[in-house]
Each structure stands twice: as structure tokens, then as C-alpha cells.
Amino acid sequence: MERDSEGLNLANIEAMTATELNANLTSVWSARGPLYELYASSLMLDHAPRFAKLHRWGSDLFGRPDPVNITLLACQNLHSYMMQGWETGIHNSFKTLLRNGMAVQQTLELVMFNQLYAGMRGLGHVFRAVGQDLPSYRQPSNAPAPFPEGWGPDADAFKCGLDFSTRAMTEADVTNLTRWYENTIGYVPKSIRFGLKYHPEFVKVNRGKWEVAIRTLPKQIVPYIMLRHHAITGSEAGLREATLLALAWGITPELITRAITATAMFYTNFDGLYAPAKVVDAILTQHAST
């Protein structure tokens, strides 16, 4: 029995017909996005057909045809492309999200959150990728973009009660910030403790940027992107914080692991699962038993 995906018969990975190859390329080109996917797919189809079929099989787990998967993967990919400085990928992510119902202003919320990691260099890559096109982008007719059930905006969830009328990190600011972490994920990360000890004014302003970046998108997109970032860097402390924040904000264990395995699929291979195996597995196991 045939199992087709974008023109490819995945029930038989040993053979590739000309009909399958052409049907897949037609499917890829149907969205009329940047050409890179077309020529990247062509390279696999022409020279490694079995690999191409297995790649499509894996891609089905994380992206097309499921609309929610497409949105989540594109959000994560935008972060990675900004980090890598890959402007073609940034352009493609904007087009993918717009095509799936996400307003440009919401995509720019992602861009500003990603700036916390990618810096001004990341913003420069975004401008070169899409800056001249942004004024021509219109509200998508199929808005809003699809997200998992239970995900939703909550701008107040990011706020811990910092006083931005002064640059100084006041005693009340420290109390409010530490209380937010303790109440939300159960502890204050060492990164925050270090910053409060040596440069509290930086912690205040950087936390402020973190609090205002995401306004209308679901709050859950933040830990979902953090999972991508720390799975790539292999930061065990980062994965711990991201996983606990994800659980606190209602992301299911299935989606937490999906964020990590999608990263392994497209960026790290199995190497990216070492740190999650050490940290995330223990958290999810304990979560399942409570």
C-alpha cells in the first residue's frame, strides 16, 4: 500500500521514479517561496534518492502538512537563522509564517525576542532579508496563525514588577525578580544570581527587554524557542530552565520533546540529544510521576 508524501512513495524507499521526483519538486515549488528548498531538494532527489525519501519522512514529523507543526517549526527556524545569519532562511521563515496566517507584526515580536540572543547582527540579517519588503506585507486573510490547543497570549505573565522609573536595581526589584523565578520555575537560575551580584543594572534592562518582546503571540512560544536554542548549544542549565518554564506555562511533554527532536532533525543530529537526555528526561520523568 502506497504512503505518499508530497509526491514521494515512502512505502518504497529503494526506488525513485521520474514521476515521483518531478511531483516532489512541483510540490516544493507550489508555495513559490525562496528557491533554496527547490534546489536543496533537487540535490537529494538527483543524487541520494533513498536519503531524500527518508528526509521527507522525517520532515513530515515536524512540518508539512500539519499547520500547527508548520508554525512551530518556522518560529524556531527564524531564531536559528538569525543566529546563523542565513538571510535566505530568514526570508523563507517570514514567508512561511505569513502564508500560514501570522501577521508581520507578530513575526517581528519573534525577531525582537531573538535579538536577545542574536544581537544587532541578527537584526541586520533580518533587515537585509526582508526589510525592504516589510511595508508591502499585508494582514494575512487566514489569520490567526495556528498554535497548539491551550496556547495563548499573556503579556502579564512575563512581568515580575520591575520599577523602570529608575535605572538602579532596587531592593524591591530584586525581591520581585527572584519571587517570579521561584514561583514560576521553582528556583533562581545561576545566570540571574551572577548578574545580580556583578551588574544588576544590566539584569534589569535585559529582563525588561525579555518582558516586552512578546505581546500578542502565545507566551508559550518563548520556552519553545529557548528549547531550540539550548538544544543547539548543549546548555544543560538552559535546557533545565526552558523545560521548567515550558511546563509551568502549559506546554505538554510531547511538544517539549518535539521541540528538541526537531532541532536534532534539522541542526544537530543525535549529538543534540545528549544534554536533553541528561536534563530534560529527568524533569519529564518526575513530572509524569506527580
Read out DSSP for the chain? ---EETTEETT-TT---HHHHHHHHHHHHTT---THHHHHHHHHHHH-HHHHHHHHHHHHHHSTT-HHHHHHHHHHHHHHHHHHT-HHHHHHHHHHHHHTT--HHHHHHHHHHHHHHHHHHHHHHHIIIIITTGGG----TTPSPP--TT----GGGG-----TTSSS--HHHHHHHHHHHHHHTSS--HHHHHHHHH-HHHHHHHHHHHHHH-SSS-TTHHHHHHHHHHHHHT-HHHHHHHHHHHHHTT--HHHHHHHHHHHIIIIIGGGGGHHHHHTHHHHHHHHHH-
For the chain, the domains span 4-61, 67-136, 155-213, 221-289
pLDDT at position 244 is 98
Mean pLDDT on 223-246:
98
Q: Please give the pLDDT value at position 31.
A: 80
Convert 221-265 into a string of H (helix), E (strand) and C (coil): HHHHHHHHHHHHHCCHHHHHHHHHHHHHCCCCHHHHHHHHHHHHH
**How many whole angstroms separate alpha carbon 158 and alpha carbon 107?**
18
Q: What is the CA radius of gyration of the chain?
A: 21
Q: Out of 46-55, 209-218, 231-240, which region has the weakest mean confidence (pLDDT)?
A: 46-55
Mean model confidence pLDDT for the chain: 95
Residue 1 has pLDDT above 60, yes or no: no
Q: What is the mean pLDDT of residues 243-251?
A: 98
Could you tell me if 162 and 175 are in contact, meaning their C-beta atoms sit under 8 angstroms apart? Answer: no
> Which has the closest alpha carbon to 117: 85, 83, 75?
83
For residue 125, pLDDT beyond 90: yes
pLDDT one-digit tens code per residue, 152-161: 999 999 999 9
In 71-90, which positions are buried (b, 16+ CB within 10 angstroms) versus exposed (e)? bbbbbbbbbbbbbbebbebb
Stretch 208-237: mean pLDDT: 98
Residues with Cβ within 8 Å of 20's Cβ and at least 6 positions away in sequence, in order, are 7, 8, 9
Identify the band that residue 35 occupies on the pLDDT scale cut at 50, 70 and 90. Answer: confident
Phi, psi of 170 (to 5 degrees): -75, 165
Position 233, amino acid: T
Q: Given the C-alpha cell 541578527, which residue does it identify?
A: 122
Residue 68 vs residues 81, 145, 229, 273: alpha-carbon distances, Å: 20, 8, 20, 23
